[in-house]
Amino acid sequence: MKAKMACYPCTWQALSSWDAADNGTNKPSANFCRWDGIACNDRRNPGRVTAIRLRGSDLGGTISPHLGNLTHLQDLDLSQNNLLGEIPVSLGRCTELRTMNLSVNQLSGSLFPDPLGHLSKLKVFNVRHNNLTGVIPMTLSNLTALTNLSVESNYLQGQIPSWLCNLTSLAAIDLALSGLDGQIPGELGKLTKVAFLMIQSNQLEGPVPPSIFNTSFMEHLDLSFNQLSGSLPHDIGFQLPNLKGVFGSAVGCEKAAVK
């Protein structure tokens, strides 16, 4: 299969069935739907790969651009491996993708290559704990179905973009430890479905916009280890009835009590 990633010698344990024939010979099996980590669940297009789930499989090398040929792919999970290089632009051809989890690797280059803006059905984009660089690009604004955005622990620059408010389906935003600066945009208050907002350990400054306390679904809010000023509302627990945790005191705004 051309879409296989390069791997360390010990990776054969995770991928042994990819090269094992059903009849016990040493010839590669043509029934790739039986390979470990591969799923083919498209009833309309039987035999088409719909999921690759190889989390924690000790994969190394780079992500093959041939993955872009899997145009029925819906779920891509290559997290917790040792993958290097850039996110392939060819993944922009996988327009059925709902989940892309490339977290906890050693990927570098652009956070979100422009062609990935075609992934209009993508709901989860998780690239936390990598070595990605640059700004949060506006091409992300095309992902109107996105519910989970996690870019924690990368080497980004620039500000939190105000256009994030256009992604009205967002329920979880994790931008922590990413090198972001500037102020928290008040437009984030328009994201009324957000339950998790994690923007700690950046270089954010200025006041906390009152609008972000309009999101009644909020469960966890972490603003700590920034250069924020002012204080959080003392009745924050009443404004955000579902809130279970709020952090804002360390190097920044005064911590408020949660009921």
What ranges do the domains of the chain cover?
Answer: 1-142, 158-259
Q: Is 110 exposed, middle or buried (0-12, 13-18, 19+ CB in 10 A)?
A: middle
Mind listing the pLDDT tens digit for each residue in 199-240? 999 999 999 999 988 888 999 999 999 999 988 887 777 778
CATH fourth-level superfamily of 158-259: Ribonuclease Inhibitor (3.80.10.10)
Separation between Cα atoms, residue 196 and residue 104, nearest integer Å? 20
Q: Tell me the pTM.
A: 0.86
Strand order in the sheet with 181-182: 181-182, 203-207, 227-229
Using 50, 70 and 90 to split pLDDT, how confident is the model at 249?
low
> pLDDT of 161-205, one tens digit each?
999 999 999 999 999 999 999 999 999 999 999 999 999 999 999
52-108 pLDDT per residue, tens = 999 999 999 999 999 999 999 999 999 999 999 999 999 999 999 999 999 999 999
CATH of 1-142, picked from 3.40.50.12780, 3.80.10.10, 2.60.120.10, 3.40.50.300, is: 3.80.10.10
pLDDT attached to residue 248: 64
Same fold, 1-142 and 158-259: yes
**Dist. CA 213–CA 189, nearest whole Å:** 7
Tokens standing for residue 177? 């430890």
Cα gap 233→174, rounded to integer Å: 22
Range in 44-58, 116-130, 134-148 with the lowest mean pLDDT:
44-58
Q: Which residues contact 64 (CB under 8 A, 6 or more apart)?
A: 2, 3, 4, 5, 6, 88
Q: Which amino acid is at 34?
A: R
**Rounded to the nearest 5°, which phi and psi values hold at 171?**
-115, -20
